[in-house]
């Protein structure tokens, strides 16, 4: 499978809030920065760590992300497309889980709405109440299944995928991922 890459950093085995801790902690730190780069909110060129491709100041000697000695690993002017792509995979996979979870929550609320209107006894069957349940319940259920559950599962799946791609990159840089 390759998803269970061996941990390459020491420290206590803490299981993160989403039940998964990346064996490459710097990838999580780089993720938002790479997403900014993917969205073209930052310049494509600059000075990047030759190992993890984190952006560096002109005078930095040790990478703040992966702690590599920049004199040793060198620097690059751009982030390779293959490397950018693995952050994109992470972003898209996670977004899909959040979206799917939210849609599931909304579907549940709609089911509840229909149920209340057709079978709801007394005031529960009042369309006004059912409508309130649809709006309020829809919001809560979409939040719960999307932003909460979907985000956690999505993070886990997406980070594993990204980390597996990174492991492959480390094995053979510049190969198609």
Q: Point out which residues bind Zn ion (CB under 5 A).
A: 49, 51-52, 54, 63, 65-66, 68
Task: Give the residue with the Cβ less far from Zn ion, 73 or 110.
Answer: 73
CB of 52 to Zn ion, least distance (A): 3
CA distance 21 to 155: 10
State the minimum distance, in angstroms, from the CB of residue 95 to Zn ion. Answer: 26
Smaller CB separation from Zn ion, 54 or 146: 54
Q: Round to whole Å and give the CA distance between 148 and 176.
A: 34
- Minimum distance from CB of 8 to Zn ion (Å)? 13
Query: d(Cα 52, Cα 166) in Å, to the nearest integer?
Result: 10
Tell me how far, at minimum, the Cβ of 67 lies from Zn ion, in Å: 7
**Min. distance of Cβ 49 from Zn ion in angstroms?**
3
Nearer residue to Zn ion within complex by CB, 67 or 126: 67
Query: Which residue number, 49 or 164, has a Cβ lying nearer to Zn ion?
Result: 49
Cβ closest to Zn ion, residue 49 vs residue 130: 49
CB-based contacts of 132: which residues, under 8 Å, 6+ apart?
A: none
The residue assigned the tokens 């109440």 is 129
118 CB neighbour count, 10 Å cutoff? 9
**Axis-axis angle for helices 25-38, 81-119 (nearest 10):** 90
Is residue 137 exposed (0-12), middle (13-18) or buried (19+ Cβ within 10 Å)?
buried
Contacts for 44 with CB less than 8 Å, ≥ 6 apart: 37, 78, 79
């Amino acid at each position: 499978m390759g998803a269970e890459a061996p941990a390459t950093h020491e420290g206590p085995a803490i299981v993160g809030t989403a039940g998964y801790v990346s064996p490459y902690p710097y990838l999580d730190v780089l993720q938002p920065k790479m997403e900014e780069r993917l969205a073209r909110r930052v310049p494509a060129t600059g000075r990047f760590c030759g190992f993890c491709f984190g952006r560096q100041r002109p005078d930095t000697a040790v990478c703040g992300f992966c702690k590599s000695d920049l004199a040793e690993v060198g620097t690059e002017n751009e982030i390779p497309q293959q490397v950018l792509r693995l952050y994109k995979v992470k972003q898209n996979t996670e977004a899909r889980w959040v979206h799917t979870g939210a849609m599931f929550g909304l579907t549940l609320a709609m089911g509840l709405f229909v149920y209340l209107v057709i079978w709801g006894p007394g005031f529960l069957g009042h369309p006004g109440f059912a409508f309130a349940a649809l709006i309020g319940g829809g919001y809560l259920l979409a939040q719960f299944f999307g932003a909460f559950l979907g985000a956690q599962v999505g993070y886990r799946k997406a980070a594993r995928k990204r980390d597996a791609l990174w492991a492959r990159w480390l094995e053979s840089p510049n190969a198609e991922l």
